[in-house]
Structure 1
Amino acid sequence: MTEHVKSYYAATANKQDARPPLQGSVTADVCVIGAGFTGTAAALELAERGFSVIVLEAVRVGFGASGRNGGQIVNGYSRDLDVISARYGEKAGKLIGALACEGGNIIRERVQKYGIKCDLQPGMLATALTQKQMRELEHHVKVWNSFGYDQFELLDKNGLAPHVVTDRYVGGLIDKKGGHIHPLNLVQGEAEAFESLGGKIYENSPVVSVDKDNAVVKTAQGEVKAKYVFVCGNAYMHNVLPELEWRIMPVSTQVLATEPLGDEAKRLLPSNVCVEDCNYVLDYFRRSADNRILYGGGIVYGGTDPVSIRDKILPLMLKTFPSLKDARIDYTWSGNFALTLTRFPQMGKLAPRVFFSHGDSGHGVTTTHLLGRILAEAVAGDTSRFDVFANLPYFPFPGGKTFRVPLTVIGAWYYQMRDRLGI
Structure 2
Amino acid sequence: MRYPDTFYSRTLRDTHSRPTLTGVEEADVVIVGGGFAGLTTALELARAGKRVIVLEAESVGFGASGRNGGIVSPAFSGGDEAIRARVGSKAARELHRLSIEGVERLRATIADLKIDGAVTGEGLFSLRRFDRADDLKRHAEEFDRDFGYEMRYLDRTALADHLVSGRYHHALYDPRSFHIHPLNTLRGIAAEVERLGGRIFEASTATGHDLTGPAKRVVTATGRAEAQTVVFATGGYTGSLVPRLKRAILPIATYLTMSEAAPDLLASAIRTRASMYDDRRAGDYYRLVEGGSRLLWGGRITTRAASPEGIVRELRREMVGAFPQLEGLKIELAWSGLMGYARHLMPQVGEMGPGVWHITAFGGHGLNTTAIAGKVLAEAMLGESDRISMFAPFGLDWAGGAAGLVAAQLTYWKLQMQDRWRERG
* Coarse TM-score class (shorter-chain normalised): over 0.9
Is the contact made by 1:80 and 1:140 (CA closer than 8 Å) also made in structure 2? no
- The alignment-based identity, stated in percent, is 33
Partner of 1:270: 271
**Whole-angstrom distance in 1 between the partners of 2:138 and 2:395:** 26
The 3 A distance-change label for structure 1 pair 7 and 414 is farther
1:38 is displaced (CA, Å) by 0.5
**Whole-angstrom distance in 2 between the partners of 1:305 and 1:395:** 31
Partner of 1:195: 194
**Whole-angstrom distance in 2 between the partners of 1:305 and 1:218:** 34
Partner of 2:176: 177
Amino acid at match of 1:402: A
Partner of 2:280: 279
SS in 2 for 1:269: coil
Amino acid at match of 2:325: S
Amino acid at match of 1:269: I
1:18-417 aligned within 5 A: 18-117=17-116, 118-132=118-132, 134-213=133-212, 214-290=215-291, 291-302=293-304, 308-397=310-399, 400-417=400-417
**Whole-angstrom distance in 2 between the partners of 1:327 and 1:306:** 17
Amino acid at match of 1:89: G
1:64 is displaced (CA, Å) by 1.7
1:215 is displaced (CA, Å) by 2.1
Name structure 2 gaps, 5 residues minimum. none
Query: Residue deviations 1:83-124, cap 9 Å, x none?
Result: 422321234223212212122111110111111011332101
Amino acid at match of 1:119: V
Amino acid at match of 1:220: A
The 3 A distance-change label for structure 1 pair 15 and 194 is farther
Is the contact made by 2:238 and 2:249 (CA closer than 8 Å) also made in structure 1? no
**Whole-angstrom distance in 2 between the partners of 1:300 and 1:175:** 29
1:13 is displaced (CA, Å) by 5.7
SS in 2 for 1:47: helix
Amino acid at match of 1:376: A
**Whole-angstrom distance in 2 between the partners of 1:74 and 1:22:** 36
**Whole-angstrom distance in 1 between the partners of 2:352 and 2:112:** 34
**Whole-angstrom distance in 2 between the partners of 1:196 and 1:161:** 47
1:372 is displaced (CA, Å) by 0.7
Deviates more, 1:101-110 or 1:83-92: 83-92
TM-score normalised by L of structure 1: 0.92
**Whole-angstrom distance in 1 between the partners of 2:13 and 2:179:** 17
**Whole-angstrom distance in 2 between the partners of 1:383 and 1:219:** 33
Amino acid at match of 1:257: M
1:303 is displaced (CA, Å) by 5.2
Amino acid at match of 2:370: T
1:405 is displaced (CA, Å) by 2.1
SS in 2 for 1:422: helix
Is the contact made by 2:350 and 2:377 (CA closer than 8 Å) also made in structure 1? no
SS in 1 for 2:384: coil
Is the contact made by 2:74 and 2:366 (CA closer than 8 Å) also made in structure 1? no
Deviates more, 1:374-383 or 1:181-190: 374-383
Partner of 1:3: none
**Whole-angstrom distance in 1 between the partners of 2:211 and 2:8:** 35
**Whole-angstrom distance in 2 between the partners of 1:267 and 1:193:** 41
SS in 1 for 2:27: strand
The 3 A distance-change label for structure 1 pair 303 and 360 is farther
TM-score normalised by L of structure 2: 0.92
Is the contact made by 2:269 and 2:326 (CA closer than 8 Å) also made in structure 1? no
Amino acid at match of 1:93: A
**Whole-angstrom distance in 1 between the partners of 2:130 and 2:34:** 39
1:391 is displaced (CA, Å) by 4.3
1:345 is displaced (CA, Å) by 0.9
Is the contact made by 2:87 and 2:393 (CA closer than 8 Å) also made in structure 1? no
**Whole-angstrom distance in 2 between the partners of 1:78 and 1:17:** 32
**Whole-angstrom distance in 2 between the partners of 1:298 and 1:226:** 40
The 3 A distance-change label for structure 1 pair 382 and 82 is farther
Amino acid at match of 1:238: G
Is the contact made by 1:14 and 1:185 (CA closer than 8 Å) also made in structure 2? no
Query: Residue deviations 1:272-304, cap 9 Å, x none?
Result: 000010011201101112421011111102555
1:387 is displaced (CA, Å) by 2.1
**Whole-angstrom distance in 1 between the partners of 2:224 and 2:54:** 12
